[in-house]
Chains A and B, each alone.
Chain A
Amino acid sequence: MNWEWIWKVVFIVVTSLFALMSVLVTILGALDVKRLLQRLKDANDED
């Protein structure tokens, strides 16, 4: 089995997917933060 070739492919595929995920999570996560704080604020106001 050519392990060197396998690890090269694994490294390139995983880091590329991570780059894509980083962009998505940074943008959409910011919206989630906004929503979370609003919900906690609403719950706090109700108490």
Chain B
Amino acid sequence: MMNEAARQALSQTNFSTVDTIIVAVYLMLSLAIGLMVKRYAGSMENYIGAGRKVGTWLGIATMTGTELGLVTVMYSAQKGFTGGFAAFHVALIAGAGTLFVGLTGFVVGPLRQMEVLTIPEFYEKRFNKHVRVLGAVLLVLAGVMNMGLFLKVGSMFIIGMTGLASDGQTLQWVMIGLLVLVLVYTTLGGMISVVLTDYVQFAVLSFALLLVTGLSIRELGWQHIFDTVRHVHGDAGFDPTLEGTGFGWSYVFWMIIAVGFVGGAVWPTAVARALAMESVSSLRRQYCWSSISFAVRFLIPYFWGICALVFITASPAGRDLQVLFLPEDGSPPILENLYAMPVVLGRLLPPVLIGLVTAGMIAAFMSTHDSYFLTWSSVITQDIVAPLQRKPFPTESRVRLTRILIVLMGGYVLYWGLFYKGGEDIWDYMAVTGGIYFTGAFVVLMLGIYWKRTSTCGATLGLLSGLFMLLGLQPIQNAVGLRYVAANGEWVERLTSPQIGLLTVGLSIILTVVGSLLVPGSAATNASNEEANT
């Protein structure tokens, strides 16, 4: 619940009736696309892979559309707000990692050559059906937890930008409204509608991002932004290697794995785009170009978060916000810092532009949701239910089940958004929950493709070791004593989440290698490995 001062501050947005109309028209257009392409979504290949007919440029747009979501913008802005320019190292790592995947075809090239539709399908081709089901269960567990806070964060953006009266009830209703919208058009059109709406989103959002950034620099002053960050954060606002500031070397190494390699080569929503490409060469082109947007999806929102900090701490117009976000007397802030960026943009941007940005962001929100819903539900259908069926599982039943699962996941996301009580930054929550899957999958995919001797036993152990990552979640850290309150009343962490992430990756490598050496794979397994390498 918010107090009167917060409500008053939120109401000072430039969002007007014209902007409401812009948002409404844009959303109706998205729904129309979903309805228009419904007739092409009959087969499973079309429904979850757009018939593998996506060209390079559309592939770049859809990859960007998926990964540059509203949630990304929100959590990155939060990181920029709290960490300053030091957060930029994550953007640099994301771009370099994706470029590396594009230049080498690392992991995704062999996967596309094998013509699998999902990562667990690779597990079955390379190992056996049990590894496929296990990999899929872990993937869905991590993936669904990972998107647990999306709806809440997206709704907070809309409240911050539009100035909707912000109490508990409003947040819930905005969440429900957004959810219904996403569910309708994702269940209708599958991947084809996702790809097309991603394109529209790219066209609107890419120019809006640049325009808003330019406007923010003009309003706040280029050098003034850097000077204010130095004044507020000191060197920690620039140097990502400084320990004890929220970053440090273990954080940087964790980001190299989580963002550099996993974000492009192992994260299923990105891989789903790669596997929908018409050829391996267009896939690699897609990754090389997308490396720019993979960097930008962090870089520009970080910058917006930094601009919010500058506006609040060093601009007369933001004076009333300081008491809400960064009280000078050291008392707890009244508003969560996630609201900082949308509230400040709501004041900086003029009407019409604010409508376009809000519409683009809602579209970005929908495109991330639809991709995630579609990816996780199709993994359940294709990689858990179908392999366990004794009777044939016809296409219509698969598409129907996928649609039902999408609706069920929508219910879960609403529930989790309302009840999760962790206090970590949203980005750190996502890196940890995603890590349950990717720490194991990264190792098993990499070794499964490039190391002939990886066996079923090694793969099983490697995948299971990802569960160790659960210890990175704050409520679990508190429960097992990894995080506790010291005598002086401050929270102390025995192991930080990045350290747990690095340990989990190390454990997964050791278990996969030891398991493979102790229980080697069969001749059939090695033969399919050679197929993966060609």
| A residues neighboring B (CB under 8 Å) | 1, 3-4, 7-8, 10-11, 14-15, 17-19, 21-22, 24-26, 28-33, 35-37, 39-41, 43-44, 47
Contact = CB atoms under 8 A, between A and B. Distances in A.
Contacts of A11: 88, 299, 303
Contacts of B92: 10
A32 B56 contact: yes
B411 interface: no
A40 to B, nearest CB: 4
Given A36-B58, A40-B40, A14 B91 contact: yes
Given A3-B238, A7-B238, A8-B226, A36 B296 contact: no
Nearest to B64: A25
Contact of A28 (B37, B57, B226, B295): B57
Nearest to B230: A4
A43 B46 CA distance: 10
Given A24-B57, A31-B55, 14 more contacts: A8-B226, A10-B92, A11-B88, A11-B299, A21-B292, A21-B293, A28-B57, A29-B58, A29-B60, A29-B199, A32-B57, A36-B54, A40-B37, A41-B40
A1 B235 CA distance: 11
A40 B57 contact: no
A35 B196 CA distance: 12
Interface in B169-205: 192, 195-196, 199, 202-203
A18 B206 contact: yes
B226 A44 contact: no
B33 to A, nearest CB: 10
Give chain B's interface residue range (CB within 8 Å of chain A): 35 or more
B85 interface: yes
Contact of B61 (A17, A18, A25): A25
B148 interface: no
Given A8-B226, A25-B202, A44 B57 contact: no
A10 B86 CA distance: 12
* Chain B binding surface SS class: helix
A26 B92 CA distance: 24
Contacts of B54: 32, 36
Nearest to B87: A7
Interface of B: 37, 39-40, 42, 46, 50-51, 53-61, 64, 85-86, 88, 91-92, 95, 192, 195-196, 199, 202-203, 206-207, 209-210, 213, 226, 230, 235, 238-239, 289, 292-293, 295-296, 299-300, 303
A32 B202 contact: no
B299 A15 contact: yes
Given A4-B238, A26-B203, A32 B55 contact: yes
Contact of A36 (B50, B91, B292): B50
9 contacts: A3-B239, A10-B92, A25-B289, A28-B56, A32-B58, A36-B50, A40-B37, A40-B46, A40-B192
A22 B210 contact: yes
A14 B93 CA distance: 12
A46 to B, nearest CB: 12
A18 B58 contact: no
A43 to B, nearest CB: 7
A8 B50 CA distance: 40
Contact of B293 (A4, A18, A41): A18
Given A21-B292, A32-B58, A39 B51 contact: yes
Contacts of B86: 3
